[in-house]
Amino acid sequence: MIETWAGFGGGADARGVRPAGSAGKAGERAGSRVLVVDDDPSILDTVTSILTSEGFQVMAAAGGQEALALLHSWHPTLVLLDMRMPIMDGWAVARAMQESGSKVPIIVMTAAESAKRWADEIGAAGHLAKPFGLDELLECVEEHSGPRRRN
Amino acid sequence: MTALELITLLSQAIYVVIFLLVGYRYLRARTPAHLDMTIFFGILAFVVVESRIATYLGLVQPEWFTDTVVAAVVLLPYILLRLVDDFTTVPVVIKRGSELALVASVIGLYVFQGPTLPPAYVLAIVAYIAGLSFYCGLRFYRAAARAEGVTKRRMQAISLGTILFALDIVAAGAGGQMSDPWKTLLAAIGQVLGLASALGFFLGFAPPSFLRRAWQAPELRRFLARAASLPRLPSTLDIVRELERGAAAATGSQARIGVWDEDLGKIRMWNDPAAEPIHIEPGRHFSGRAFEQQKTLFSSQPARDDPEAAAAYRGARVGAIIATPITAGEKRLGVLVLYAERPPIFALSDGELAQLLADQAAVVLESRALIDHAARLRAREEATRLKEDFLSAAAHDLKTPLTTVVAQAQFLERKATRDPSAPSDLQGLQRIVREAQRLSALVTDLLDAARLEQGRLVSDREPTDLGMLVTQVASRQRAGAHSVEVDVKGAVVGNYDGRRIEQLMENLIENANKYSPNATPVTVGVWQENGEARITVQDRGIGIPASDLPRIFDRFARASNVDDRKFHGMGLGLYICRGIVEEHGGRIWAESEIGKGSTFHVALPLSEERRLN
């Protein structure tokens, strides 16, 4: 199951809402391609609709294998990765990315206490401890998708 | 010196040696048995030494002196009878009879004056001594048959010594009435019998320690062989029972083991395996005293030495006690107590054996304590781990819906702030509502699980018709959900907490729906059978692997074929279901076949009047 929110296409909930921020910022954000990976459909929907509405290009993956497929076909500039997922978990996704030589930065998203430690373990660029607020999410994505885009 | 003279000298020397040994023993433990032994061998030693000295010095004893010596010899079988009485029980008739005969014999000695006694009187005395000695020999033999270990061997030796002593008397009496060559032959036979009898008495009354150890060896070895496997028995009580059995077999007495309870500061002892243990304070009774003083105690008069428990000792016919501490190095573990109906003749050597057994018991109990300690540590670690697992699982499961609620709500707020006229984001709102409900359900489950741990999930029971209740729950199923077919056979009424039974049915029906992805119908049955209310919830869903069936009702359990991504929940649902059913005094179980579906069965007690109908 792969749901895409390229622009406002798939996200009916974001329809009619203008991307926020200045035109310049929106332009910068439009160049960022954020891949959201989480097995919880509500979180997946919420995060993708927020980021889409804020002007990022977003794709959603409900599991590790879908995430890897999108990584190769869609070339995201940032991955928001849930760690505890059935079948293929966050560690396996990070390992597969490393093995394929991917340099795409990862943000670990987890409800576990050990968010920071797990982020260090897989060499992630940062972490978002659930439950996170809107500002935390946007700041984190803003910070880590920016430099990458300029490279 | 002729061979016969040598034999005589040897047997006489043995009597003196035994006298010294038993006399020393009497000084160490003043039991009636030790006193009787000392008197018996004191007379023999006196007669022997006196006659040697008289012969050596060429003295001629006055007649009253000779009569007194003979009277002392006549006393011997009576002392033997007292020894028998020390160890078992001699009928009063025999006691009084032997006393009368003894008095008559002694009076006769002083009445009949002159160089020779009348043959009839001599015959009577010989018959008295020999008869009583034979009787004692037989009684010792029977006591030996009942005894175990060292006591058995020593009793056998004494029995042999006593019977040979009787034969010796017969030979001497018969020889005195005959002429040569019979007289010389019988005298020779008498000497040999005397030596053999002395040896028997020696082995029985004062055996060398190497012999005692050799006699103890088989019982000890049997005890040790059994002791090796004891620490692995299921409970300390089982171990104590086995140790007691072993100690009883090795000593031929009753054995009790008291286990020191550090927390209680008392010794725990099980007098009746089925009943609660009794508790003994250190310093009280023999067990408490032996434990406190850390030494072996012996009493041949327990009622006198421990007046507080005199009635109990008399009631249980306890006539002798050995109590010895069970101690491993510095660690006091308990006490071993041996009870006997009669004071054993060999109190000291039984005490040594008791110490050996107590040392072995210490090894067993200490090993057990180590095993228990390790198990307790493991259990504590496991409990901590489970608690941490529970907390982190609960925290994780609560944070997941909370993430959506927080981020989505803030996002809606930001959009509304930026553009108050914008249409409301229905899907965003629905996500918040859905996840808030999920949170609420999780919190309810967590609280129910906590109540369940305390066993107070169920309250306010009242007569409830399960059929009506189940029909109501099924009809509340939301439109679009799987169809639920209800089959109620008559009124099924019991005393139930209706709210909890509703929760049970909701959980079971929801579960059935959840794990039936193809919208297959769910069937619910309610009926009564064998005095029980019965409910089944049957689905045609994915099923539960047989290996998971036993643990699906455990906390956080989830069948291994359940994809967490599709099926939310903390795995508390069935755990709470089991709690509800069990607090009602019922049973819950499941049958399942992979790919064909599962059936959950519930059996609840009916109300009293229903069951009678």
CATH number at residue B542: 3.30.565.10
**Measured between CB atoms, does A99 come within 8 Å of chain B?**
no
Residue A132 pLDDT: 93
**Measured between CB atoms, does B51 come within 8 Å of chain A?**
no
State the smallest CA–CA distance between residue B451 and chain A in angstroms: 26
Checking if the pLDDT of A7 tops 90, the result is no
Considering just the CA atoms, what is the radius of gyration of chain A in Å? Answer: 14
Residues B82 and B125 in one domain: yes
**Measured between CB atoms, does A83 come within 8 Å of chain B?**
no
Residue A151 pLDDT: 38
Domain that holds residue B516: 462-612
Q: Between chains, do A49 and B428 touch, taking CB under 8 Å as contact?
A: yes
Domains contained in chain B, number: 4
- CATH, residue B222: 3.30.450.40
Q: Between chains, do A17 and B401 touch, taking CB under 8 Å as contact?
A: no
Asked whether residue B99 is assigned to any structural domain, the reply reads yes
Residues B64 and B93 in one domain: yes
Record the tokens describing residue B492, joined without a space.
């099924």
User: Residue A60: pLDDT band by 50, 70, 90 thresholds?
Assistant: very high
Burial environment of residue B477 by CB neighbours within 10 A (0 to 12, 13 to 18, 19 or more): middle
Residues B188 and B306 in one domain: no
Q: Give the separation between CA B455 and CA B576, rounded to whole angstroms.
A: 11
Q: Between chains, do B565 and A42 touch, taking CB under 8 Å as contact?
A: no
A134 → closest Cβ in B414, B431, B564:
B414
Residue B403 pLDDT: 94
User: Hey, which residues 188-217 in chain B have their CB within 8 Å of chain A?
Assistant: none
User: Residue A47: pLDDT band by 50, 70, 90 thresholds?
Assistant: very high
Nearest CA to A84 out of A65, A109, A103, A117 is that of A109
Asked whether residue B106 is assigned to any structural domain, the reply reads yes
State the smallest CA–CA distance between residue A118 and chain B in angstroms: 15
**Measured between CB atoms, does A135 come within 8 Å of chain B?**
yes
Parts of chain B with a pLDDT under 70:
1, 113-115, 273-274, 342-349, 478-481, 556-570, 608-613
**Measured between CB atoms, does A63 come within 8 Å of chain B?**
yes
Q: Between chains, do B411 and A113 touch, taking CB under 8 Å as contact?
A: no
Residues B173 and B229 in one domain: no
Asked whether residue B381 is assigned to any structural domain, the reply reads no
User: Hey, which residues 28-47 in chain A have their CB within 8 Å of chain B?
Assistant: 39-40, 42-43, 45-47
Asked whether residue B24 is assigned to any structural domain, the reply reads yes
Please say which residue of B335, B359, B376 terminates a domain: B376
Q: Give the separation between CA B535 and CA B603, rounded to whole angstroms.
A: 7
Nearest CA to B484 out of B494, B475, B492 is that of B475
B428 → closest Cβ in A13, A47, A87:
A13
**Measured between CB atoms, does B560 come within 8 Å of chain A?**
no
Asked whether residue B263 is assigned to any structural domain, the reply reads yes
pTM given for the model: 0.52
Asked whether residue B392 is assigned to any structural domain, the reply reads no
Domains of chain A listed by start with CATH number: 2-13+20-150 (3.40.50.2300)
Asked whether residue B448 is assigned to any structural domain, the reply reads yes
Mutate to test the interface with B, among A3, A13, A48 (most CBs of B within 10 A): A13
State the smallest CA–CA distance between residue A151 and chain B in angstroms: 30
Residues B469 and B448 in one domain: no
* Residue A59, C-beta contacts closer than 8 angstroms, at least 6 positions apart: A2, A3, A4, A5, A6, A33, A34, A35, A36, A48, A70, A74, A76
Residues B168 and B49 in one domain: yes
**Measured between CB atoms, does B422 come within 8 Å of chain A?**
yes
Residues of A in contact with B431 (CB under 8 A): 13, 42, 45-46
The H or E element spanning position B41 is helix B32-57
Residue pair B452/B484 in contact (Cβ under 8 Å)? The answer is no
Residues B325 and B422 in one domain: no
Q: Give the separation between CA B37 and CA B205, rounded to whole angstroms.
A: 8
Residues of A in contact with B397 (CB under 8 A): 111
pLDDT tens-digit readout, A87-121? 888 999 999 999 998 889 999 999 888 888 999 98
**Measured between CB atoms, does B410 come within 8 Å of chain A?**
yes
Residues B435 and B470 in one domain: no
Residue pair B92/B73 in contact (Cβ under 8 Å)? The answer is no
Checking if the pLDDT of A25 tops 80, the result is no
State the smallest CA–CA distance between residue A61 and chain B in angstroms: 12
Mutate to test the interface with A, among B389, B408, B419, B435 (most CBs of A within 10 A): B408
Residue of chain A whose alpha carbon sits nearest to that of B415: A17
Q: Between chains, do A111 and B405 touch, taking CB under 8 Å as contact?
A: no
Residue B543 pLDDT: 87
Residues of A in contact with B403 (CB under 8 A): 43, 46, 111, 130-132
Q: Between chains, do A112 and B396 touch, taking CB under 8 Å as contact?
A: yes
Residues B188 and B280 in one domain: no
Q: Between chains, do A39 and B565 touch, taking CB under 8 Å as contact?
A: yes
Nearest CA to B283 out of B318, B308, B263, B301 is that of B308
Residues B348 and B407 in one domain: no
Please say which residue of B141, B172, B207 terminates a domain: B207
Q: Between chains, do A46 and B428 touch, taking CB under 8 Å as contact?
A: yes
Residue B603 pLDDT: 94
Residues B32 and B168 in one domain: yes
Residues B409 and B281 in one domain: no
Nearest CA to B336 out of B351, B325, B320, B349 is that of B325
State the smallest CA–CA distance between residue B386 and chain A in angstroms: 16
Asked whether residue B518 is assigned to any structural domain, the reply reads yes
Q: Between chains, do A20 and B414 touch, taking CB under 8 Å as contact?
A: yes
Residues of A in contact with B401 (CB under 8 A): 42
Between chain A and chain B, the number of residue pairs with CB atoms below 8 A apart is 88
Q: Between chains, do A43 and B403 touch, taking CB under 8 Å as contact?
A: yes
Residue B608 pLDDT: 60
- DSSP 3-state percent helix, strand, coil across chain B (nearest 5): 60, 15, 25
The H or E element spanning position B162 is helix B149-176
pLDDT tens-digit readout, B280-323? 888 888 889 999 999 888 887 888 888 888 888 888 888 888 89
Residues of A in contact with B405 (CB under 8 A): 131
Q: Give the ipTM of the model, two decimals please.
A: 0.79
Q: Between chains, do A130 and B403 touch, taking CB under 8 Å as contact?
A: yes
Tokens 């918040």: give the residue.
B432
pLDDT tens-digit readout, B502-516? 999 988 988 888 888
Supply the DSSP symbol for A19: P
Residue B128 pLDDT: 87
Residues of A in contact with B415 (CB under 8 A): 17, 53
